[in-house]
Amino acid sequence: MSHFTLKVPDSLLDRVRRLAEQDHTSLNQFIVAAIAEKVSALETARFLAERGQKADWSAYSHALASAADHPARADDELPPHD
């Protein structure tokens, strides 16, 4: 485990303290979880962008065109919208 000194504006730190308290976690745990969430989001976006570049758009278009002739299954329809 490493230590890292971080300069945080007072107003932001006050908000983070309140949120950590509401979440019943320590300030340290809350900040570590926030960093982990951000890292995960960035890595997921990178992964999806890389996968998107490998897409076979002609195969996608073919599959989509062939699916147009088939109605949705009864258990695959969207629920009614209020």
- In tens, the pLDDT along 5-61 reads 999 999 999 999 999 999 999 999 999 999 999 999 999 999 999 999 998 989 988
Please give the DSSP secondary-structure letter assigned to residue 81.
Answer: P
CA separation, residue 70 to residues 76, 78, 80 (Å):
12, 16, 21
The pLDDT of residue 19 is: 98
Distance of alpha carbon 45 from alpha carbon 80, whole angstroms: 32
**What is the number of H-type helices and E-type strands within the chain?**
3, 0
The pLDDT of residue 28 is: 96
pLDDT band at 82 (very low <50, low <70, confident <90, very high): low
pTM of the model: 0.66
